[in-house]
Structure 1
Amino acid sequence: MKVFATNRISASSKPDARVIAFFGLYGAGNLGNDAALTSARFAVQRHDPEAELVCVCFHPEVVRSEYGINAVPIHMSGPLPDAPSGPRLLRMVQRPLFELARWVAVYRFLRRTDLVIVPGTGILDDFGERPHRMPYHLFRWSLSAKLARTKFAFVNVGAGPIRHPVNRFLMKRAVRFSSYRSYRDDISRSYMSEIGASADDTPVMPDLVFGVTRPAGPTLPGSSPTIGLGVMAYQGWANDPVSGEGIFRSYIDNMSTIACRLLDKGYTVRVLIGETCDESAVDALLKSVRQRRDGDVPAGRLIAEPIDTMHDLLTQIAATDAVIATRYHNVVGALMMNRPVVSLGYAARFDEIMKSMGLGDYCHHAESIVPEAILADLDELLEKWDAFSPTVDNRNQQYLRELERQFESLIGPPVQPGVPAAILNGVGSR
């Protein structure tokens, strides 16, 4: 039975087809966010192939080009230009009218939409966020959906912390206005319950990224053992390049120490990223390693190849023996490919996903890295992985089944029952 049935006529070629919108931070270069969209999109298409899909995001032109689905701007302004123009006084007078036009445009869009899905991502925290950006957009779209009587669903999202009081006010109410919500871990559910946004018994479901297709078959490394080193342009929770400059320098210094120690021990180091902005961290890391070693880096032992998609990331992880990573979906990717992983996170969700896989003892914080402790954990994981691997494999398969059941309850039964075989590629392989 479909929880969200068609309640209006869409613009689709089939008059009874549902219009389903995906809402979030997509097309901006974050591999995990885009993978969550991919996972949700294919799940919806398996369960309702006739649905008309559209993405609401900051970069609609990128989504249209890369995903082949319709996309609209998150800040839609109707018939007006994107922003007021003219002298300052005129712009000040125009600004409230432009904002009203945006609300009207969103409402009219939602009146033609059956269901809005916010698929995964850590959209309910305020890492690097300002109130006028995503917190306000979430509030506007969720409230407008309620007024338009359109279902608005937070599906397996991450939440907390939300440190700015205005961000907390806006996000809390956005969740309250929604018609369905589920979280990707217990910490997210507990946090949103503590601030009064949702109930203690709100469902906890797997991260949607576990539902993307794995690369076919294992790709084990060649002549020397390979460690994936996932780096990030990390500048603290505020993600401010000015106040966070010292944090970034300290982080790169520690990561380059780890890289040099790995090279000294005979490992090949493969540098991984989780967002296009992390390329600056890759450049800083490579420069630091070469300076520390006076340019003496053995050929082919320090690898930094392009990573543009989650599939690229998983393919490169498949070419490693283990991973040390800062980005959340680098950690998730290692678990998906059944690789030993040491987490260097910056939020409680890192500890939560590692604990769920039986790896809670191998978590560290990005701002308090002790290279010797990281390398000791890596050695221990490599030695004991045969004991951990079956748990990670079983959890992966469990997550896939849970995601399939969830979309069946949300959308309806799939055209082809069961988890598609392609998604299972790599699960259990080592």
Structure 2
Amino acid sequence: MKLVVLSADRTLASGYAANLGDSFLTDALVQALSEEGATVEAVDFGGRRREGYGARRSVSGFSGLARTIGSADAVVIGGGTLLQDDVGGRVGGLPRLMAVTSLLGWLLRTPVVFFGVGCDPVHRRVPRSLLRAALWRRRVWARDEQSMQRCSGLGVAAASLSLGSDVSLLLADEIAAMRGGDGPNHGVVALAKADSEGLTHPAVLEAVARWGSLVFVQMFQDESVGDASTLSRPARNGFARVTDGLSWREAAAVVAGADVVIASRMHALYLALMAGTPAIPVGDLAKVRSFAREFGLSEPMEAADAMKSDPRVGDSAALDVAVARACTALRELMDVLRSSVRS
């Protein structure tokens, strides 16, 4: 069975992943499906991925996407928060990509499913209509209960909607094996650029005094608009290192060896959870609040406050439940795909 995975992952001109969280999710899904016996290709609308950083199939434009979908037995869209209005006042982005992919699936008679996807609140009429069209009569495994409720609000029938989990949890054993493996004591900060902007030099110095040194891990590492691009110069100078050009596994090793992770980036928090690294969530995103509640972390706060707060280790029992849910969802997915291909 030949499967195509479509996600938000894309490659920069430098050959590195733009978003390490998306790269992590995509590799986790590709690996899990491959271990189930499928031949899997992951779509990339960006540049050519560096050797050893996760193989991708470069696709350009509508015709390239159509050829890729037409060559597959099925398309798996996942994971991450793919059901969101990600382009502000414009039309396009993820809602258009989801709708076009689903439409091509119908036209080319290629089954399309959504697996481990998050769904943010979507209020604008056109993006909401595009997502409703994308999800029409599609099988969906939502990442969490809030996403499940929002998918239902977008018209997904109860019989077609299941509770899954974050796709990254399919690699929980690999991440757990990295614990404590990155040298001297240090703290990790992994903030989205909107949260980095409010980080002050005194707050950084206070955290350095507490944790020994700080590494800023850019989960979004596009040169011009990366996560560290909004740091003030004094705040940036307080970090021992600001990462750039990492693979997600290299970032995972830094997180797993840390004493604390202060993050608004969702998959820095997931890496900390799986590695058993104490964490402090930051920001006001709905998905980060849901994560904090599910895994017993403090309520998300402002970045400057987080630098002087006490971290918590995520709830291991809740993690076990979430991992089991991810594995169950994967088995259900494979049953659906095998049935769809046979029919």
TM-score, reference length from structure 1? 0.67
Q: Residues 191 and 405 (structure 1 numbering): CA distance in 2 closer, same or farther, change over 3 Å? A: closer
Question: Per-residue CA shift, 1:120-171, capped at 9, x if unaligned?
Answer: 0111112336423332222122022123332111001011122432111101
Q: Secondary structure at the match of 1:173?
A: helix
The match for 1:182 is 141
**CA distance change for structure 1 residues 73 and 370 in 2, over 3 Å: closer, same or farther?**
closer
Superposed, 1:276-425 pairs within 5 Å as: 276-277=221-222, 280-282=226-228, 284-285=230-231, 287-289=233-235, 302-306=240-244, 308-359=246-297, 361-364=298-301, 369=302, 371-372=304-305, 374-375=306-307, 378-379=309-310, 381=311, 385=312, 391-392=315-316, 394-411=317-334
Q: Which residue of 2 aligns with 1:238?
A: none
Counterpart of 1:159 in structure 2 is 119
Match of 1:77 in 2: 63
User: Which residue is 1:126 aligned to?
Assistant: 85
CA–CA distance in structure 2, aligned partners of residues 152 and 306 of structure 1: 35
Query: Where does residue 273 of structure 1 map in the other structure?
Result: 218
Deviations 1:215-268 (A, max 9, x none): 744226766x5221112222xxxxxxxxxxxxx7xx424354421221244632
Structure 1 residues 287, 173: CA separation in 2 closer, same or farther (over 3 Å shift)? same
Give the 3-state SS of the residue equivalent to 1:37 in structure 2. helix
Partner in structure 2 of residue 52 of structure 1: 39
More divergent stretch after superposition (349-358 vs 274-283): 274-283
CA contact (8 A) 1:307 1:313 kept: no
State the 1:37 CA deviation.
1.1
Q: 1:109 to 1:231 in 2, by over 3 A?
A: closer
Tell me by how many angstroms 1:344 deviates: 1.2
| Cα distance in 2 between the residues matched to 1:228 and 1:269 | 6
**Structure 1 residues 353 and 200 mapped into 2: Cα distance closer, same or farther (>3 Å)?**
farther
Q: Tell me the CA shift for residue 284 of structure 1.
A: 5.0
Decide whether aligned partners of structure 1 residues 67 and 230 sit closer, same or farther in structure 2, where only a CA change above 3 A counts.
closer
Unpaired runs of 5+ residues, structure 1, are 1-17, 79-104, 235-247, 292-296, 414-430
Radius of gyration: which is bigger? 1
Deviations 1:192-235 (A, max 9, x none): 22343453982222211122332744226766x5221112222x
- Give secondary structure in 2 for the equivalent of 1:276: coil
Taking the aligned partners of 1:408 and 1:200, their CA distance within structure 2 comes to 17
1:187-226 residue pairs with structure 2 within 5 A? Answer: 187-199=146-158, 202-212=161-171, 213-214=174-175, 216-219=177-180, 225-226=185-186
Contact 1:23 1:55 in 2 (8 A): yes
Give the aligned length.
326
Matched AA of 2:128: R
1:334 & 1:40 partners in 2: Cα distance? 19
Letter in 1 for 2:234: S
Structure 1 stretch displaced more, 259-268 or 152-161: 259-268
Q: CA RMSD in A?
A: 3.1
Partners of 1:337 and 1:358 in 2: how far apart?
15
Q: One-letter code of the match for 2:179?
A: P
1:355: Cα distance to partner?
A: 1.1
SS of corresponding position for 1:62: coil
Separation in 2, partners of 1:122, 1:55 = 17
For 2:5, what is the secondary structure of its paired residue?
Answer: strand
What amino acid is the match of 2:268? N
How far has the Cα of 1:349 moved from its partner? 0.8
Separation of aligned partners in 2, 1:273 and 1:118? 25
Q: Distance in 2 between matches of 1:258 and 1:266?
A: 12
Could you list the per-position Cα deviations for residues 335-356 of structure 1 after superposition, in whole angstroms to 9, with x for gaps in the alignment? 1211221111342111111111
Query: Out of 45, 66, 75, which is 1:116 matched to?
Result: 75
CA distance in 2: counterparts of 1:62 and 1:56, whole angstroms? 11
Q: In structure 2, what is the Cα distance between the partners aligned to 1:175 and 1:358? A: 32
**Deviation for aligned residue 1:333:** 1.4
Shift of 1:25: 1.9
Indicate the structure whose relative CO is greater, using CA pairs within 8 Å and at least 6 residues apart: 1
Name the structure 1 match of 2:339: none
Distance 1:370 1:110 in 2: 42
Matched, 1:263 2:169: no
Relative distance call for 1:67 and 1:222 in structure 2 (3 A) is closer
- Whichever residue aligns with residue 329 of structure 2, its letter is Q
Q: Distance in 1 between matches of 2:118 and 2:265?
A: 14
1:20 paired with 2:9, answer no
Cα distance per residue 1:175-198 (max 9 Å; x no partner): 1142x1011111111122234345
Q: TM-score, normalised by structure 2?
A: 0.82
